[in-house]
Chain A
């Protein structure tokens, strides 16, 4: 009995210490274990396919569509946007190391100077601004959606490699994590309600995908032809639980993306992809 009280006290103390100190590595390990328990048949390399990996038929249909996807013509437009020189003669590629090849895995990153999370979309707009061009509207899929669809394809195969180091970064990460686990909306669901607690279950005509592997393939072409950035999808998810959506590039969504991207660390990127 005494031993139980002591161990309970110890548990409370360590938990208290845990709450005060963000630990992304432990969070990720916790989720890995959770999904291993709940989805024992899901292979580590298949997490990036989300709900598609739950059954053979879905995967076959997906691979068949990806062989000749319906967004090919949009990707031509996207490539042209990326390569089109600015008024000063420079291009998007000049703003990134390696002309933009294999850089997307580092985003989002935390910028200590500004004290904010910096997403890949932020980097695109910073590039436009630095070269005297008008920045894109974060919600405009015809510009931001298309350009990032092509730009991030230059990082295909490279791994998600988000770093959370330093006080500011850890705070932003924790805010993103809190958002993820907070209930919201008329349906009173949190992101975790579906993607952690009820992962693998059916919801209407879909199945719930695990958080690990979710962020490595954005933008997507949803319904095959609608370019959709990750934060546009956040808005859609929030609307689905009847919560007021936030604008793309809001601080909450940037922090959420920061947390979520860390959860996909080590996984190979592929952009864009087809989703229904």
Chain B
């Protein structure tokens, strides 16, 4: 997907609060095209991985229940300012995207 993800990572004490906005149509495969009446094929993120300072902290398997342009938020204990957060996703068509940010 062309549109970049946005990541916001802030530190409160020893816990990093990480927020991420992804761009993805997240089509369930159930919707019909208004003009043609044909089903719009399923196209959704099915794997999400997040690492902090090189260590994997989150692995998710998503499906059609996640809405368009997903928002992901999670907290990580024991993080430090400046640690690199990398979030990547892969979808059911094999498209990938990744973005990173430093914890501030």
Contacts and interface: CB of A to CB of B under 8 A. Distances in A.
A81 to B, nearest CB: 15
A73 B23 contact: yes
A72 B21 CA distance: 8
Contacts, number: 17
Main secondary structure of the interface of B (DSSP, over half): strand
Contacts of A225: 69
A73 B69 contact: yes
Interface in B1-44: 3, 6, 8, 19, 21, 23
Contacts of B23: 73
Interface in A221-265: 225
Given A68-B8, A225-B69, A73 B19 contact: no
Interface residues of B, number: 8
A61 B19 CA distance: 15
A85 interface: no
Contacts of A44: none
Contacts of A73: 3, 6, 21, 23, 69
A70 interface: yes
A68 B69 contact: no
11 contacts: A67-B8, A67-B19, A68-B6, A68-B8, A70-B21, A70-B71, A72-B6, A73-B3, A73-B6, A73-B21, A225-B69
Interface of B: 3, 6, 8, 19, 21, 23, 69, 71
Interface of A: 67-68, 70, 72-73, 225
Which 7 A/B pairs are nearest by Cβ-Cβ distance?
A68-B19, A68-B8, A72-B6, A73-B23, A72-B21, A70-B71, A73-B3
